[in-house]
A and B are shown apart, each in its own frame.
Chain A
Amino acid sequence: MTKSKRAVNDGSLYYRHSLPVRIMHWLIVLSLPILLMSGLNIFNANSELYWGKSSYAGSPPFLALQSREGDDGEIVGMTRIFGHKFDTTGILGASKNQEGELEGRGFPSWTTLPDVQWLAMARRWHLFFAWALAITSTCYVSYSVIGRHLRRDLLPNKMDWRSIGQTVKDHLHLRHPTGEAAKEYNVLQKLAYLSVVFVLIPLIILNGLGMSPGMDALLPGWVDIFGGRQSMRTIHFIVSWALVAFTAVHLFQVIVTGFWNNLRSMITGKYRIPEEAKHE
């Protein structure tokens, strides 16, 4: 694998990412971590998740990060999920503060923005970058639909659907396309990007808006489509972790398919085509 990557040094660079795509990609790279971390700070203000129209719809929270005083007087962090209890002291429910003392808090301070529990400031970060994400993704969707990005690069074609089994196998073996095939996204890539752009990001924005008492009045009752306001808070939370999972896989793929080549292509647009693999 290393060989095929290094062997190509003939200067054949392929223009892969257009300028708008690159700019929007990096704006989203900036927004998502800030939204996640400020979101976790906001979550910590009420570290429980419910399903239903309110927090008192009858069933206990299915996820709760709590703290209690242990027998020895030390604070214990507890994670309760679907009725199962786990001791998660140090990470969830209770973790160390700036002074190195254990204190009750949902997610630990190193995952939140600001690091201290500060709801007003976390909301400022979150609601500012929510605008950044909403505007960027609206631009991205319009650009893809109106321009040729969606049809040319993102929508799977017949060949893609047929190759899906093989592509899954290739991915599991960390075999990656070379030559002509490397110019296009493979089917798994296409499906991953499509689901982020057209499912996860719209879903997270919509479910974020569902928590707004102002937006709820736009069409009274629309939040019930998603199971009610507290359900939307839950969906918002789950989708944020789906985006984290996507980012983790995405970064892994970026690294294993040639980190510097990928990084350059997202900065300058130019991608060096890996040479056709010889049977080794």
Chain B
Amino acid sequence: MNKHNELTRRSLLVRAVAGLGALTLAGCQKVSESTWFSKVLGAGEKATYKVQRLLLPRKAMAQEFTDADRSPQFRSNGTSTPNNPQYQALAANGFADFRLEVGGLVDRPMSFSLADLRALPSRTQTTRHDCVEGWSAIGKWTGVRLGALLETVRPKPNVRYVVFHCADPMEEDGSSPYYESIDMEDAFHPQTILAYEMNDQTLPVANGAPLRLRLERQLGYKMAKYVTRLELVEDYSKIGGGKGGYWEDQGYEWYAGI
């Protein structure tokens, strides 16, 4: 074999490989923007949901911590003061006039004052809050057990999800209120609570007063703050952007167990 030819052939091959590498990379960037490909990749996270649900016992508990493990200050993430006049009026009055509406596919739609909620079975837990960004913080939460609350309104048999409607608008102009949804397995998990206390104090506005969801086996964005209304539904595709939550509508996964 002629050495010169071989070298040219090889340098051509090297260039082809390098070119292919660069193209692949550019292709990866490009393909991220197409919906179909994003859906293919989304299969990974769908599989995670299925496998975690198979693997995890229904009542598997998230780790609980001691007071000493608590973060000195529990970081306020997302909205810290909802830009909503109605909410601000309620807050100014110490939420004395606050009502949590619970409706949708239920036999007995009801509304609850904070005193009503405090009278229902509660739970206190010191847990770690994992943000999708990668940081975590540990805090102590007390709240009404969501399962106990839902039993009082008698969900219809076809209910599959609980939707949390919130008081904090995500757009400057006051539109696009935050919302989230979870399935019934999570709703009836013993650690799933609507918290009204954080670190033995009334829940501060920065952390979602007067009520926020604690869903300890999923990431922080599932744990809606400033919850004002629960809606029990069979399907969430008609609510908001149709993906089951504010961040889900921005491309994050509905199941945030990973």
Please list the residues of chain A having a beta carbon within 8 angstroms of any beta carbon in chain B.
34, 42-43, 45-46, 48, 53-57, 113-115, 118-121, 123-125, 127-131, 209, 211-218, 220-221, 223, 229-230, 233, 260
Q: In the complex, which of the residues A57, A127, A213, A260 contacts B45, with contact meaning CB atoms closer than 8 Å?
A: A127
Give chain B residues whose Cβ lies under 8 Å from the Cβ of A42. 134
Q: In the complex, which of the residues B28, B29, B257 contacts A213, with contact meaning CB atoms closer than 8 Å?
A: B257
Chain B interface residue count: which class?
35 or more
Which residues, 55 to 91 on B, are CB-close (under 8 Å) to A? 55-56, 60-65, 69, 71-73, 75
Q: In the complex, which of the residues A55, A115, A209 contacts B29, with contact meaning CB atoms closer than 8 Å?
A: A115
Distance in Å: Cβ of A133 to nearest Cβ of chain B? 11
Question: How many residue-residue contacts, CB under 8 A, span A and B?
Answer: 137
Distance in Å: Cβ of B257 to nearest Cβ of chain A? 3
Is the pair A211, B130 in contact by a Cβ cutoff of 8 Å? yes
A114-B135 contact, Cβ under 8 Å, with A120-B252, A124-B45: no
Is the pair B258, A217 in contact by a Cβ cutoff of 8 Å? no
**Which chain B residue shows the least CB distance to A113?**
B28
Is the pair B137, A54 in contact by a Cβ cutoff of 8 Å? yes
Give the docked Cα–Cα distance between A218 and B130 (Å).
Answer: 16
Distance in Å: Cβ of A244 to nearest Cβ of chain B? 16
B52 interface residue per 8 A CB criterion: yes
Give chain A residues whose Cβ lies under 8 Å from the Cβ of B135. 46, 48, 54-55, 230
Q: In the complex, which of the residues B133, B138, B216 contacts A54, with contact meaning CB atoms closer than 8 Å?
A: B138
Give the docked Cα–Cα distance between A221 and B128 (Å).
Answer: 11
**Which chain B residue shows the least CB distance to A131?**
B44
Give the docked Cα–Cα distance between A151 and B203 (Å).
Answer: 60
B92 interface residue per 8 A CB criterion: no
Is the pair A212, B257 in contact by a Cβ cutoff of 8 Å? yes
A213-B218 contact, Cβ under 8 Å, with A121-B38, A127-B45: yes
Chain B residues touching A, majority SS = loop
Is the pair B131, A120 in contact by a Cβ cutoff of 8 Å? no
A125-B257 contact, Cβ under 8 Å, with A120-B250, A220-B63: no
Give the docked Cα–Cα distance between A211 and B220 (Å).
Answer: 13
Is the pair B253, A55 in contact by a Cβ cutoff of 8 Å? no
Is the pair A212, B258 in contact by a Cβ cutoff of 8 Å? yes
Is the pair B134, A56 in contact by a Cβ cutoff of 8 Å? no
Q: In the complex, which of the residues A218, A229, A260 contacts B136, with contact meaning CB atoms closer than 8 Å?
A: A229
Is the pair A220, B64 in contact by a Cβ cutoff of 8 Å? yes
Is the pair A46, B61 in contact by a Cβ cutoff of 8 Å? no
Shortest 9 CB-CB contacts between residues of A and residues of B: A214-B257, A128-B44, A56-B71, A120-B251, A46-B134, A124-B41, A45-B133, A212-B258, A55-B135
**Which chain A residue shows the least CB distance to B222?**
A213
Give the docked Cα–Cα distance between A229 and B42 (Å).
Answer: 25
Could you jot down 16 A-B contacts, CB within 8 Å? Answer: A45-B134, A53-B69, A54-B69, A54-B128, A54-B135, A56-B71, A114-B28, A120-B251, A124-B42, A124-B45, A124-B253, A211-B258, A212-B258, A213-B257, A218-B60, A220-B61
Give chain B residues whose Cβ lies under 8 Å from the Cβ of A211. 130, 134, 258
B47 interface residue per 8 A CB criterion: yes
Give the docked Cα–Cα distance between A218 and B128 (Å).
Answer: 15
Give chain A residues whose Cβ lies under 8 Å from the Cβ of B216. 213, 217
Give chain A residues whose Cβ lies under 8 Å from the Cβ of B43. 128
Give chain B residues whose Cβ lies under 8 Å from the Cβ of A216. 62-63, 217
Is the pair A223, B63 in contact by a Cβ cutoff of 8 Å? yes
Is the pair B137, A55 in contact by a Cβ cutoff of 8 Å? yes
A54-B61 contact, Cβ under 8 Å, with A46-B134, A128-B41: no
B162 interface residue per 8 A CB criterion: no
Give chain B residues whose Cβ lies under 8 Å from the Cβ of A129. 44
Is the pair A214, B131 in contact by a Cβ cutoff of 8 Å? no
Distance in Å: Cβ of A208 to nearest Cβ of chain B? 9
Distance in Å: Cβ of B214 to nearest Cβ of chain A? 11
Which residues, 120 to 157 on B, are CB-close (under 8 Å) to A? 128, 130-138
Is the pair A127, B258 in contact by a Cβ cutoff of 8 Å? yes
Give chain B residues whose Cβ lies under 8 Å from the Cβ of A220. 60-64
Is the pair A217, B134 in contact by a Cβ cutoff of 8 Å? no
Q: In the complex, which of the residues B32, B73, B128, B253 contacts A53, with contact meaning CB atoms closer than 8 Å?
A: B128
Is the pair A113, B137 in contact by a Cβ cutoff of 8 Å? no
Give chain A residues whose Cβ lies under 8 Å from the Cβ of B29. 113-115
A114-B32 contact, Cβ under 8 Å, with A53-B138, A128-B43: yes
Give the docked Cα–Cα distance between A220 and B64 (Å).
Answer: 8
Distance in Å: Cβ of B18 to nearest Cβ of chain A? 13
Is the pair A55, B136 in contact by a Cβ cutoff of 8 Å? yes
